[in-house]
Structures are given as C-alpha cells and as structure tokens.
Amino acid sequence: MSWIVLIASGVLEAVWATALGKSEGFTKLWPSVIFAGGLLASMAGLAFALRSIPVGTGYAVWVGIGAALTVGYGMAFGGEAVSVVKVLLVLGIVACVVGLKLLH
C-alpha cells in the first residue's frame, strides 16, 4: 500500500509543480489553488509512505516520478524542447526509480 501511495504522491508532485508554473507567481487563482491542494496531498502521501519505506528510497522515487512527469508534460504540452538526449535522460530517471523499487 505504501508504494501505491508513494507513486500517487509522485504524480501529485508533477501536478503541483506544473500548477506552480502556471500560477505566474500566484497571480492566477485556479493554478494557485491546484498548487496548494496538490502540494498538501503530495506531502501527506509522502509522509504516509515514509512510515514503511526508507526515507532515501522514498524521497528519490517521489522526486524521480515528479520530475519525469513534469518534464514529460512540459515537452508534450508546454512548449519545452524535445530531443533524443532529453528523452533518454528522462527514461534514465524512470529506470532508476524502477530499480529502487526492485531493490527494496
């Protein structure tokens, strides 16, 4: 159960990070509200997961999922440049997250 919550929290990290960028310095209401809700839910899930997953592994997985999804979203919808090298590096992050899960 902790791993499912951790993965969901990593997804929510991407949600709040993306919303933070769209809030334009907290000047737009709905992206700011989504940021706050996503941040609180993501942190609560991380805290829950870290009760049974070592903090180093849990934090690395949480950040890795959030970072990979945020970059992927930016490349797909946000006008961020796409390159083979960037895609390979993001896939490397995903591979490391999977590796940490398998080693746990």
Q: pLDDT, tens digit, for every residue of 62-103?
A: 999 999 999 999 999 989 999 999 999 999 999 999 999 998
Structure tokens that stand for 8 in this block: 């969901």
This model's pTM is above 0.85:
yes
pLDDT tens-place string over residues 5-35 = 999 999 999 999 999 999 999 999 999 999 9
SS3 for 36? helix
Residues 6+ apart with CB under 8 A from 7: 61, 65
Place of tokens 């995903």: 94
| Domain membership of residue 85 as a residue range | 2-103
* Domains in the chain, number: 1
